[in-house]
Structure 1
């Protein structure tokens, strides 16, 4: 089922047991920020991006290496080389995603990012090394930027797809089918928001971080928060701007976000995470955040 009908979605979601699959990834992949620079195409619809003079390529490389080291202590994590012709490639979760036995390739909105979808090394890693079937959405016309636009509850097979210039309704349906989800809720993001995973995180299927000002319709916020109550954490506009919503659970008991995002969480939110059974791990990523994304955007999940 894929729908905009909140009542129908909530009824279906409440009937979905947490038996769809593993709640968190078994491994992760990254793409190094080689050639890290301002991408003018992406800046057209990503208000979080800094101006070109604010980019520090050396600091971004060092911080990304620190992220790789930190994640590798938690789960197997591979890192592909970057390419100066692809300055946004540090955010691979928008371009490549997995479901068990399948690799999905996105249709990206901007040409600078469409080049990433053609990378033979990443495609070959999934098809030739892991033996995954390729589900290539990059050759059709509808933008559908995978787990940037679609936040997924992997435990229950639920999708939360926010529409923007980066994903239209046809793209949402293509992703729903490609991921094989049980039910997907489609909704509009607030004006100026580009990806759902900046304003919503579902943590191991049992908690959610929700930035209410990132949604066009407050009723959608209430519906999602109700599904994950009592472990739905509502984040302030300041926490959203610091990328606290751009978080990910890796393993059943640890939530990862940037140092800046962690500082923006209030003590009440930290206590709420602990009540949901999560510790908090943070990595310094301020240089990478100049490009308009944070830790979640850097992490591709392997299921």
Structure 2
């Protein structure tokens, strides 16, 4: 397929400015509290991503960052939304639980038809990615497997469970990205053998990502069906995407990567909200 046959779909994203960004604890292998961080650099990189999404024609809405919640910039973890319904995250680690309250308040204040907090540990779009009409759902490090059934019931959608086995790729969105309604890219060694078999069966034409690109968080990307925004040090992945007819756009996420997050972590796709 070439780019002439691909179709861009304008989307709405929820983002959070990294005004309080810092690495003060370690809950994934990328975080080192002893390593200096710069909120100013993080904000500059985040703003470039924000402005690029707007320039491409997407709508970006903001949730206000709160002091003491340095990971709130990673808005993808905050909730899952489909058809105007929002299921807000229940975080595994205590240091992030305050984010759930902030997201519950935001969705209720902004007129979403149905808002609830997950009963089971569920880290939002970090572990639930919508592909066509079904969810791919990760577990192994953060989200609990029993949250998969809860999501299926809440949204009335099929959920395909996938098990992550490499702690470097602790959320599904660090190991797999949705490129279009029927196409994904992923790093196979991040998944259990059973999950790799399922992915190979369901997506035989997927873009398979190498270790160097995965370690650079190249899979933590946002696609609108044509443009794919990904960390700029994604190596040969940009070429793989271009061969498929996509337009890769590199984004400098080096500061936010110190907390184990990149492009997709910063952008939560809102589906069917009151203003869509």
TM-score of the two chains, using structure 1 as the length reference: 0.80
Q: Provide the rounded CA distance (Å) in 2 between the counterparts of 1:83 and 1:97.
A: 20
Match of 1:270 in 2: 241
1:62/1:266 CA distance change after superposition, 3 Å: closer
Q: Provide the rounded CA distance (Å) in 2 between the counterparts of 1:147 and 1:38.
A: 21
Match of 1:100 in 2: 83
Match of 1:228 in 2: 203
- CA RMSD of the aligned region, Å? 2.0
CA contact (8 A) 1:98 1:301 kept: yes
Match of 1:4 in 2: none
Q: Provide the rounded CA distance (Å) in 1 between the counterparts of 2:97 and 2:154.
A: 19
Summarize the alignment of residues 158-197 of structure 1 with structure 2, pairs less than 5 Å apart.
158-181=134-157, 183-192=158-167, 193-197=169-173
Query: 3-state SS of the aligned residue for 1:301?
Result: strand
Which of 68, 79, 91 is 2:50 aligned to? 68
CA contact (8 A) 2:242 2:248 kept: no
Summarize the alignment of residues 198-237 of structure 1 with structure 2, pairs less than 5 Å apart.
198-217=174-193, 219-230=194-205, 232-237=206-211
Q: Deviations over 1:208-236 (max 9, x none)?
A: 1110111121x422432342333x11111
Q: Provide the rounded CA distance (Å) in 1 between the counterparts of 2:69 and 2:101.
A: 11
CA contact (8 A) 1:50 1:292 kept: no
CA contact (8 A) 1:37 1:52 kept: no
Q: Provide the rounded CA distance (Å) in 2 between the counterparts of 1:272 and 1:223.
A: 25
Q: Provide the rounded CA distance (Å) in 1 between the counterparts of 2:270 and 2:53.
A: 13
Q: What displacement does 1:55 show?
A: 1.6
Q: Deviations over 1:57-110 (max 9, x none)?
A: 110011111111111112111223322300110111111221111122011111
1:226/1:191 CA distance change after superposition, 3 Å: same
Which of 246, 260, 266 is 1:292 aligned to? 260
Aligned residues: 262
CA contact (8 A) 1:215 1:221 kept: yes
Q: What displacement does 1:294 show?
A: 0.6
Which of 108, 113, 129 is 2:110 aligned to? 129
Match of 2:71 in 1: 88
Q: Deviations over 1:222-268 (max 9, x none)?
A: 432342333x1111111110111111212x3111112123x35263x
Q: What displacement does 1:202 show?
A: 1.8
Please state if 1:26 is matched with 2:7.
no
